[in-house]
Every structure is written in C-alpha cells, then in structure tokens.
Amino acid sequence: MSELSLHERFAIIALNGLQVETMTVAKKLAVRGIMAAEILEKYLNEESLSKQVDMDFRKILISSKRKLKSSEERFTKELKEKGLLSVIPSILNCDMYYVTSGVEVSEYLCDGAEYTRQTEGIRAELLEDGEISSEIIFLWWLMRESSCFYDLFSPLEIDKITQRLNEIHLNSKIAKELFNLKLQRKTEQIYAKYLKKKHEIFTTALGTGFLFIVPFFERKESVFIDVEQWFSDKDKRLSSVLDRFALKGHVVSVIRTGQTPLIKVDNIYYECIPTQVVVKVPIQGVRLRRYVMT
C-alpha cells in the first residue's frame, strides 16, 4: 500500500468509531481537523506557515453543517475506495437496552491493520526519545484540536508528550505558529474541557468504578451485554459475548482471557466484567469497560 497523506492518516484516527447518522460535536471537530490537515500538507517541509493558513483555518472554523457533511462524504469516499474505511453497526447495538428498544446505530470502522500502524507509529515517536518529525507534530496538534487523543493516550502520557512539545514550541517557528491556531468554537472548547476532565476522572480507579455503576456519562464505554444464564464457566460466558458481537458483524479478537477478559472490538479495547442489572428481575451479563493500552 502506498504511503498515506497527512489528511488520510489523521482521518483514519479521527473517524474510527464515530456515528455515521448524526453530526455530533466529536464529528464536527474530526471533519474540521481533516480539512485543516489538507492545508497543512503543503507545509510539511517548511520552516514556517504562511498568513494564508490562518485565513484558511478561519474559513474552516465557520463552515456550515452542510459544508462539513459534504467534506465528510468526500473524505469517507476517499478512504472507502482505498479499502481503509467501512460502515458497521455500532457496538451500542449489542447493549441490552438498545437491543430491546430496537434502536440501530451505525459507525465508521477503519482498517484494523492500518489503524494500528498509524496509532502505534505516532505513540512510538511521541513517547520515545529522539527527534519528532513535523508530520507527527502536525498530527498531535490535529488530535489535540479534535480531542481524539484521549482515545490513544493515558493522562500521564499526555502530560509527558505535552512537556516535550512545549520544548519544541520554544525552538520551532512552525510549531509556535501552529500551536497558536484553533479549530474549536467557544462552545466546543467547553466540550473539549469536559472531555479532558472526564478522561482525567474516569481513568482513575475511583472514576472507572463510578462509570461502571453509572454509565450515563459515556454509554459506549459501559456497554451491558446480557447472557441467557449465569455461566459458572468463564470461558462459556466469554463465548456468549463473542457470539453477540459476531451476530452484529463486529471484528473482535481476544487479548486476554480469565475472570475479566480483555478484548479488542473494532480497534478499541474493552474489559469484560461479569455483573448484573436489575429491571424487574436480576439480569446476568457482562459490562464492557473501555481500556486504554499503555
């Protein structure tokens, strides 16, 4: 496969797992980021940005919902033609409450091998010692502005990377110019701050426990899959969960077995925690909890 452009690399990271039907805040930020990446591609080998970049970014910032939707369709068509993107049922469709209500949600799934190649490459360059390329600096800024780096890095890793890039900011003219630009509207900045705070809280032991009990704050990070009976055999319980995913057309691999298995579903890691919910009677099952690999 030929090397991907900057906007294609970012699109693979930003679009993965986003809902297809609705233009959520997360999708608006992702699409604006891909539009910005197209502009930044011209400056990968430059020492500074032109004044035109600021003007172009201002146009992106005020893009209408129709313009964003048109851009989304163009970007997704490009990735689909390269075999890097598909549309699948959302993992929420496996949740007991969605199954019983008949609600169906679709989401984007990026090619697993390419998604891993891109994310691991970015992680390696940002977290290991050595020089950081302009392309990775651009990708980090795009992930920051779209708030999608919370899916890839733990709070400690984000602090470490931010410290490294602050040092680069002092010595690189193009980094200084780029880091001063914004792709978020004021209301979206509030959303980004909320995501940051939520990530900080819900990646602690206390926070993950609270999210497990009260999944209202992030439904995709706390999916409940009911099983027909409470299997004493943990392998049978896991097999029942995997069957549900297979029925809904998801790509799943088991990373770790045991009492609390770790699985990878459509490029995202989850722990499978045996539990029950009480409606009129107790219903046994497994709750999936989002897991960040570190």
> Residue 278: which residues within 8 A CB-CB, separation 6 or more?
none
* Per-residue pLDDT, 210: 42
Burial of 237 (C-beta count, 10 Å sphere; 0-12/13-18/19+) = buried
Can you give the pLDDT at residue 200? 54
CA end-to-end span of the chain, whole Å? Answer: 28
User: φ and ψ at 228, to 5 degrees?
Assistant: -65, -30
Q: What pLDDT does residue 98 have? A: 66
Specify the pLDDT at position 193.
Answer: 63
Among left, alpha and beta (phi > 0; psi -120 to 50; other), residue 27 is alpha
Tokens of 13: 């990271």
- The length of the chain is 294
Cβ contacts of residue 242 below 8 Å, gap of 6+?
A: 252, 254, 263
Closest among 123, 116, 126, 143 to 11, alpha carbons compared: 143
Task: Name the nearest CA neighbour of 11 among 118, 106, 137, 96.
Answer: 118
DSSP state letter for 294: -
Distance CA 81, CA 61 (A): 28
Burial of 25 (0-12, 13-18, 19+ CB in 10 A): middle
Residues of the chain below pLDDT 50:
1, 202-219
Do residues 261 and 238 make contact, with C-beta atoms less than 8 angstroms apart?
yes
CB 112 within 8 Å of CB 23: no
pLDDT for position 206 = 43
Q: Is 131 left (phi over 0), alpha (psi -120 to 50) or beta?
A: beta
pLDDT of 217: 37
Bridge partners, residue 275, by sequence = 285
Q: What is the pLDDT of residue 294?
A: 55
Domain ranges of the chain: 6-198, 216-290
Residue 111: the pLDDT is 93
Q: Is the dihedral of CA 138, 141, 145, 150 positive or negative?
A: positive
Q: What is the pLDDT of residue 202?
A: 47
Q: What is the largest CA-CA distance in the chain?
A: 65
pLDDT at 293: 56
The reported pLDDT for the residue numbered 192 is: 60
Taking the mean position of all CA atoms in its chain, how far away is CA 282?
33
pLDDT value of residue 215:
42
Over residues 151-207, the pLDDT tens digits come to: 788 778 888 888 888 888 888 888 889 988 888 777 666 666 655 555 555 444 444
Containing 174, the helix (H) or strand (E) segment is: helix 173-179
Identify the pLDDT of residue 180.
86
Q: What are the backbone angles phi and psi of residue 257, rounded to the nearest 5°?
A: -100, -175
